[in-house]
């Protein structure tokens, strides 16, 4: 058998024997300076009328927003597509090279395309333009060169300038330009959110998982809909039995379907101490003797994170969830911990 040759090692550029801290600091600060100058220019020159026209079109139109770009601009385009989708605007990313080889079929005449190219002359992007125009797809462009072929083909141009260049030590890698593209994407998303009145409830609909999704859950999403309950005249033994079966460390006290109080483990301990001090037989105690009247309650539509704040502030472990005076559930601190709200 022949010997297996090792792949050639990639040459590694030698590091300077002692990097100059001042040179490194200047290089880093040039990035901040370039971004700061470009952002200031954008803030001074962006056109609200163009942005509003774009927002009206994509909001009232029946299709999706299709983002496209190559290289670093493509990565920014993917982020913008994700931001738009998560804020209620159906969006997707289309790789321009793949579009040239069949994926253009993903685009329909009802869609709107937003293309990103710093130069406006990126080969794969420019080669797509005739096909998009033949489809009759409205086109937007985020570019530093409105006079480019991409800029001239677009109905909406979202331009930016780089007064101090990219900020790259080699004046080559995209740095300030991609920052400005990201800002344009967020600006367009924020404008549409405000225009459509996008709410926290809408945001929660598209973020059901993770820590963000947990913070957007409603009380009704986490509460236990089966919970113990007793009448005000229920004896201590019955109260304890209900609490044991409910496994929530509490029971509601209801009269004619109305919440009149709650009994917790702590309520029972305190009632037993009072009975001992007064010489009363503990077995004579009823739910009305044990309960905390007029307990703190929560609305089922309240965000769970707000309910968690009430529990922490009051140093309690549960809230009865009510519609009017009728209990519909119990939210326990364990529910919040399991959902990672706390």
Whether residues 100 and 248 fall in one domain: no
Mean pLDDT score, 149-168: 97
Whether residues 188 and 39 fall in one domain: yes
Residue 279 has pLDDT above 90, yes or no: yes
Starting at the earlier edge strand, list the strands of the sheet with 250-255.
229-230, 250-255, 258-264, 292-293
Q: Are 320 and 307 in contact (CB under 8 A)?
A: no
| Model pLDDT, residue 11 | 64
Q: Has residue 15 been placed in a domain? A: no
Overall domain count for the chain: 2
Count of positions (residues) in the chain? 342
Proportion of the chain above pLDDT 90, given as a percent: 86
What are the beta bridge partners of residue 319? 331
Q: Has residue 12 been placed in a domain? A: no
Q: Has residue 334 been placed in a domain? A: yes
Domain holding 302, by residue range, is 219-338
Summarize pLDDT for 11-24 with one digit per residue, the tens.
Answer: 666 666 688 999 99
Task: Indicate which CATH number applies to the domain containing 307.
Answer: 3.10.580.10
Whether residues 157 and 254 fall in one domain: no
Secondary structure class of 18 (helix, strand, coil): coil
Summarize pLDDT for 40-55 with one digit per residue, the tens.
Answer: 999 999 999 999 999 9
């Amino acid at each position: 058998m022949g010997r297996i040759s090792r792949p050639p090692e990639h040459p590694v550029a030698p590091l300077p024997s002692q990097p100059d801290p001042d040179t490194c600091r200047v290089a880093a600060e040039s990035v901040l300076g370039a971004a700061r100058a470009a952002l200031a220019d954008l803030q001074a020159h962006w056109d609200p009328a163009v942005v509003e026209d774009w927002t009206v079109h994509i909001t009232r139109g029946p299709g999706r927003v299709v983002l496209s770009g190559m290289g670093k601009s493509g990565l920014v385009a993917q982020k913008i597509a994700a931001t738009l989708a998560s804020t209620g605007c159906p969006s997707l990313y289309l790789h321009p090279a793949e579009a040239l080889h069949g994926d253009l079929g993903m685009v329909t005449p009802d869609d709107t395309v937003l293309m990103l190219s710093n130069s406006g002359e990126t080969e794969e992007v420019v080669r797509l333009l005739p096909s998009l125009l033949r489809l009759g797809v409205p086109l937007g462009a985020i570019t530093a060169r409105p006079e480019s072929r991409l800029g001239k083909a677009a109905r909406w141009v979202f331009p930016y300038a780089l007064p101090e260049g990219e900020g790259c030590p080699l004046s080559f890698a995209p740095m300030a330009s991609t920052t400005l593209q990201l800002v344009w994407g967020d600006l367009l998303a924020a404008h549409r959110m405000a225009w459509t009145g996008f709410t926290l409830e809408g945001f929660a609909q598209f973020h059901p998982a993770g820590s963000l999704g947990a913070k957007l859950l409603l009380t009704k999403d986490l509460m236990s809909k089966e919970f113990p309950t007793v009448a005000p005249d229920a004896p201590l033994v019955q109260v304890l039995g209900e609490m044991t079966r409910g496994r929530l460390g509490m029971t509601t006290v209801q009269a004619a379907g109305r919440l009149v109080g709650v009994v917790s483990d702590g309520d029972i301990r305190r009632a037993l101490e009072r009975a001992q001090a007064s010489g009363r037989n503990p077995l004579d105690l009823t739910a009305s003797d044990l309960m905390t009247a007029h307990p703190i309650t929560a609305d089922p539509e309240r965000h769970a994170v707000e309910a968690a704040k009430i529990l922490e502030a009051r140093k309690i472990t549960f809230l009865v969830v009510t519609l009017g005076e009728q209990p519909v559930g119990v939210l326990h601190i364990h529910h919040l911990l399991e959902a990672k709200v706390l």
